[in-house]
Amino acid sequence: MRLAELAAALHVPAPTADPEVRSVTHQADWVQPGSAFVAIRGARFDGHQFLAQAAAAGAVAVIGEGLPSGVTSPLPYLVVPNARAALADAAAALAGHPSGQLRVVGVTGTDGKTTTSWLTRHLLRAAGLKTGLLSTAGYELPDGVLRHFPAHFTTPEAPQVQATLTELVGAGADAAVLEASSHALALERVRGVQWSAAIWTHLSSEHLDFHGTLDNYFADKRKLIERTPFAVLNVDDPWTAQLRGVAPAETTYSAEGQHADWRAGGLEERSTGLHFHVVSPLGEFDAQLPMIGRFNVANALAAMAAAAHLGATAEDLQAGLASFAGVPGRMELVPDSRGRRVIVDFAHTPPSLDKALSTLRATTPGRLLVVIGSAGGPRDPGKRAPLGEVATRLADHAIFTEEDCRDTPLDDILTEMERGAREAGRHNFERVPDRRDAIRRAVALAQPGDTVLLAGKGPEDTLERAHETLPWDETGEARAALAQE
pLDDT at 378: 66
The identity of residue 234, as a single letter, is: N
Q: Does the annotation place 228 within a ligand binding site?
A: no
Neighbours of 33 (CB within 10 A): 10
Residues of the chain with pLDDT under 70: 150-155, 205-212, 271, 378-379
Question: What's phi and psi for 431, nearest 5 deg?
Answer: -110, 120
Q: Does the annotation place 25 within a ligand binding site?
A: no
What is the DSSP code string of 99-167? GGGSEEEEEESSSSHHHHHHHHHHHHHHTT--EEEEETTEEE-TT--EE---TT-SS--HHHHHHHHHH
Q: Does the annotation place 115 within a ligand binding site?
A: yes
Q: Does the annotation place 136 within a ligand binding site?
A: no
Residue 18 CA from chain centroid, whole number: 39
What beta strand segments (E) does 7-67 contain? 23-25, 35-39, 61-64
- 485 vs 467: CA distance, rounded Å: 31
Instruction: Tell which CATH classification among 3.10.129.10, 3.40.1390.10, 1.10.3720.10, 3.20.20.70 matches the domain 3-95.
Output: 3.40.1390.10
Q: Does the annotation place 329 within a ligand binding site?
A: no
**Reported pTM:** 0.79
* 123 neighbors 200 (Cβ within 8 angstroms): no
Q: Does the annotation place 251 within a ligand binding site?
A: no
Class of domain 332-484: alpha beta
Residue 179's DSSP bridge partners are 107
Question: What's phi and psi for 327, nearest 5 deg?
Answer: -120, 130
* 471 neighbors 443 (Cβ within 8 angstroms): no
Question: What's phi and psi for 38, nearest 5 deg?
Answer: -95, 115
Q: Does the annotation place 155 within a ligand binding site?
A: yes
Which among 245, 247, 244, 246 has a CA at the least distance from the CA of 229?
A: 247
- 155 vs 167: CA distance, rounded Å: 18
* 111 neighbors 351 (Cβ within 8 angstroms): yes
Q: Does the annotation place 113 within a ligand binding site?
A: yes
Neighbours of 288 (CB within 10 A): 17
Q: Does the annotation place 181 within a ligand binding site?
A: yes
Domain boundary assignment for the chain:
3-95, 98-322, 332-484
Q: How does 106-137 read in b/e, with b if 16+ C-beta sit within 10 Å?
A: bbbbbbbbbbbbbbbbbbbbbbebbbbbbbbb
CATH of domain 98-322: 3.40.1190.10
